[in-house]
Amino acid sequence: MLRHIVMWQLHPQAEGADKASNLAKAKALLLSCAQVVPGIRTFEVATATPGMDCSSDLVLHMLVDDAQVLAAYQNHPQHLAIKPFMKAVVQERRCMDYLV
């Protein structure tokens, strides 16, 4: 099994919208990819809790069968379609993949 975690910090304003609007849209877009390929065991998307001291605005946590499943997800047309929006609204992105 492989765990894939991605954290994003969004720009205060981007794509003609504020951070809150872009967070909601980014979360919905990510969730639309939850079942695009077989072998995804866990798919969670969350936004930061207001008032908590955290460094990221948005997080994706996935548990997949193996690196091939992750590659299939990353190259799936539905996932590729959200990348332009994400790149436009994201200020910083951090990622970690590890075997479990």
Question: How much is the pLDDT for 27?
Answer: 98
Give residue 52's pLDDT: 83
Tell me if 7 sits within 8 A of 45, measured CB to CB.
Answer: no
Structure tokens, 99 = 């075997």
The pLDDT score that the predictor gives to residue 9 is 97
pLDDT of residue 51: 84
Check whether domain 2-99 has CATH 3.30.70.100, yes or no: yes
What are the pLDDT tens digits along the chain (100 aa)?
999 999 999 999 999 999 999 999 999 999 999 999 999 999 999 999 988 887 899 999 999 999 999 999 999 999 999 999 999 999 999 999 999 9
CB atoms within 10 A of CB 22: 24
